[in-house]
Structure 1
Amino acid sequence: MDSIMAGLPALAFWGAVAVTFFSGFVKGTVGFAMPLIMISAFSAFLPPEIALAGLILPTLVTNISQAFRQGVAAALESARKYWRMITATVVFIIISAQFVRAIPQDLFLLLLGVPVTAYALLQLSGRSLALPLRNRRLAEWGLGIIGGLYGGISGVWGPPVLVYLLSVGAEKVESIRVSGVIFLIGAVVLFLAHLQTGVMNAQTVPFSAALILPGMAGLMLGYRVQDRMDQARFRWWTQVLLVLTGLNLMRRALGF
């Protein structure tokens, strides 16, 4: 047991298990927010590098399930359709991960949280912020770069992806599958990048692996809710969670 607890007190370890289960449930329901919930909650009671390491393997494994839930062919088609965003996200995760110990996370989190919150609030107010189709390629590259920059530093790159999918009106199943594909590829890259930086090591890998089971249990429960949710409610809940995501990013940045 000691080998999977990363030197943590029992209360902290079981707290991490509970957070992972809940974040898996949210991910199963709406397709995102797992790493954000984990890193936000973990940061309250875990050392920063253990918090980041802890989310990597459960995020990776749950994204495998999400990406391939409709089969390999559907996942490959999503990868082909959104290859620009995937490429930009992957490249900039690799780049930004090298600076995880040097770049102040507070500034990054604030710069992400403010626009994400503003965007989602405007969506909830009924205003259309759909990106013109002529700008779709540029938007994929730009939001992929933004997601990758934040992803390598904080382990969170979902909000820019979700903003893009909401803007182009992707339907529920496609939105969740595309998110899973992009999140999966990013999670693999994040894992490999932090093997190189040393965040993933002999102490943190067993801890992260121990969180896979509660993450998957929460995910499976969340799938049952997702399958009963219609498109309009899915978009509403996605927007609400983006608002909460953005507010939480700003809270973390400002130290509240």
Structure 2
Amino acid sequence: MSDPSFAILLFVFSTFMVAGLVKGVTGMGLPTVAMGLLATQVPPHEAASLLLLPSLLTNLLQLAAGPDPVGAMRRFWPMMTAVAIGALATAGLLAGDAARHATAALGAVLVVYALFGLSGRRLVAPLRAERWLAAPVGFVTGAITGATGVFVLPAVPYLQALGLEKEDLVQALGLSFTVSTIALGLGLALSGGLEAHSLGGSAAAVAPAFLGMAIGQRLRHAISPDGFRLAFFAGLLGLGLYLARGG
């Protein structure tokens, strides 16, 4: 994308509008949607680079808007530390010799996440299990983040399983996605997969992401949550199958 065409620029703008809208409605999904759509047109490491700033800024806002950001950091620091370690350990896969497999891996992760979402199941993790589950869940989440650019598994099901109140859950997701984004960006930089023109594109993607997010927040109370969830995960399933096959 060093010399992108108008069609690619329009595609990137539209991608972040849609990804921001999903995040505005659900509180998550911007990196997942953006990474999945972008990977159909650009190499995985460039897709991951483009989502860095929109993901970081929207998730910092989500974290700061929560009821107790400092309390969330104190509670979840073992998980967040493990996320960072896992992402740094695998981020080179997006830009290295194994990059050709990253698209297929991304598709597989999207398929698994979509099937879990469509099942409507919610796992339950007792609070006493949090002490020993946090670090393994964080490391696996970070490792998948570094290898595919997707932050959701297994962090989202795990945080949902803790039975957090809605605002606390949204805040915890914001914290997890923020740490994942920072670790992914650092890992890409250390592995040589982060290029200046991609950062410029990432900065340009901030505006459509926030615009989409604002629209999504307005739509949140006007649409059926179940209908939106079904459409969202069905779309992810189709996209994941396409990427897994193409990869």
Q: TM-score, normalised by structure 1?
A: 0.82
Per the alignment, residue 196 of structure 1 pairs with 190
**Inter-partner Cα distance in structure 2 for 1:197 and 1:40:** 22
Deviates more, 1:101-110 or 1:48-57: 101-110
Q: TM-score, normalised by structure 2?
A: 0.85
**Inter-partner Cα distance in structure 2 for 1:147 and 1:88:** 8
Superposed, 1:12-91 pairs within 5 Å as 12-70=8-66, 74-91=68-85
**Inter-partner Cα distance in structure 2 for 1:79 and 1:242:** 29
| Kept in 2: contact 1:96–1:153 (CA 8 A) | yes
Q: How many residues align?
A: 244
| Kept in 2: contact 1:23–1:218 (CA 8 A) | yes
Q: CA RMSD in A?
A: 2.8
Q: Which runs of 5+ in 2 are unaligned?
A: none
Runs of 4+ in 1 over 3 A off after TM superposition: 106-122, 233-251
Alpha-carbon offset, residue 234 of structure 1: 6.0
Superposed, 1:1-256 pairs within 5 Å as 6-70=2-66, 74-100=68-94, 101-103=96-98, 104-105=101-102, 108-109=105-106, 112-113=109-110, 115-122=112-119, 124=120, 129-226=123-220, 228=221, 241=232, 245=236, 248-255=239-246
Alpha-carbon offset, residue 185 of structure 1: 1.8
Alpha-carbon offset, residue 237 of structure 1: 5.8
**Inter-partner Cα distance in structure 2 for 1:209 and 1:110:** 26
Deviations 1:210-250 (A, max 9, x none): 10111111122223344x489xx769966874565466434
**Inter-partner Cα distance in structure 1 for 2:130 and 2:229:** 21
| Kept in 2: contact 1:89–1:148 (CA 8 A) | yes
**Inter-partner Cα distance in structure 1 for 2:171 and 2:53:** 19
Q: What is the SS of the residue equivalent to 2:73?
A: helix
**Fraction of identical pairs, as percent:** 24
Alpha-carbon offset, residue 18 of structure 1: 0.9
